Amino acid sequence: MLMSTRTRPIRNAMTVDVEDYFQVSAFAPYIARSEWAAMACRVEANIDRILALFETHQTKATFFTLGWIAERYPQLVRAIVAGGHELASHGYGHERVSDLTPEAFATDIGRAKKLLEDLSGQAVVGYRAPSFSIGAGNLWAFDVLLEQGYRYSSSVYPIQHDHYGMPNSPRFAYPVRPGLLEVPVTTLRKFNRNLPSSGGGYFRLLPYAVSRWLIQQVNAQDQQAAVFYFHPWEIDTEQPRIAGIDAKTRFRHYVNIPRTLDRIAHLLRDFSWGRMDEIFLDANSSAPHGPKAGSFE
């Protein structure tokens, strides 16, 4: 007997931001971009572990991949695509959009898109800004994304944060331009504020039961697909420790890394997951709940 779509679990979007430990924005004051090529890269082995985990749990995901990484590890890009996952863009050089001019941003995302498409043989339609760096002060970025041929962005985090965030923006997928969808990472609305519910440092800091409850509430209360994200370095207990960083940065980067892989495995068992493009763009998607349109408030 076929299961009714009303009882079918909502399919959430599992995403990976493909960058290495030394490329995170918080380390920018400590590691010069000119030093990247000399750093010991660990991203390839970590992606292999992630792909194996996804295969074990029969999960397809979206990999927002830096052009800088793809250029050096083309086999990593091909492995992602061979596994049936979506390849999307994280820009070329992990530069915050808020630090770029429109012209420089166009160059960065155009270069990354072409590189990823040439390596994979597939169209790249999705983009996520490093550090969720599209906000109220640079909404011109959506025009540039559209001009460069992207169909969706996942670059706005509707929370209040010291490094990013636009708390008054819509919480769920909405058209920002004709032909361009913004798909924010997930928050839960409680106590007149948006609570982060989508991964990253919050997922490592909070007990797993809290993170699971937050996603469950979004699925049940809002009847919406959640968007979860993590980085390859968040499962890497043996990554080199960066010397001289301040206590706040050290805590944010390294907290609970030894627990992250097991927690992600629990997520894969506890929820239904899929690719961003299939959940939010595919008109024939089997996901029972599609995105609701919204607008800036």
d(CA 94, CA 129): 8
pTM as predicted: 0.91
Residue 136: C-alpha distances to residues 74, 108, 132, 142, 154 (Å)? 35, 20, 12, 11, 15
In the chain the domains, ranked by start, together with CATH numbers, are 11-280 (3.20.20.370)
Say what the pLDDT of residue 159 is.
74
Using CB atoms within 10 Å of the CB of residue 127, give its burial: 0 to 12 exposed, 13 to 18 middle, 19+ buried: buried
What residues pair up with 182 in beta bridges, in sequence order? Answer: 153, 174
d(CA 88, CA 112): 9
pLDDT at 4 over 90: no
Hey, is 37 helix, strand or coil?
A: helix
* Stronger pLDDT, 193 or 233, i.e. the higher one: 233
pLDDT at 167 over 90: no
pLDDT at 140 over 90: yes
Over pLDDT 90: what percentage of the chain?
84
Residue 51 region by backbone torsions, left for phi larger than 0, else alpha for psi between -120 and 50, else beta: alpha
Q: Please, are residues 85 and 42 in contact by the beta-carbon 8 Å criterion?
A: no
pLDDT at 234 over 80: yes
d(CA 56, CA 285): 23
pLDDT at 149 over 50: yes
d(CA 110, CA 176): 19
Say what the pLDDT of residue 145 is.
98
d(CA 280, CA 283): 8
**Model confidence at 118, in pLDDT bands (50, 70, 90)?**
very high
Q: Please, are residues 10 and 224 in contact by the beta-carbon 8 Å criterion?
A: yes
pLDDT at 8 over 90: no
pLDDT at 292 over 70: no
pLDDT at 81 over 70: yes
E strand or H helix that includes residue 249: helix 247-254
pLDDT tens, 15-72? 999 999 999 999 999 999 999 999 999 999 999 999 999 999 999 999 999 999 999 9
Say what the pLDDT of residue 2 is.
37
pLDDT at 293 over 50: no
* Stronger pLDDT, 288 or 263, i.e. the higher one: 263
pLDDT at 7 over 80: no
pLDDT at 88 over 90: yes
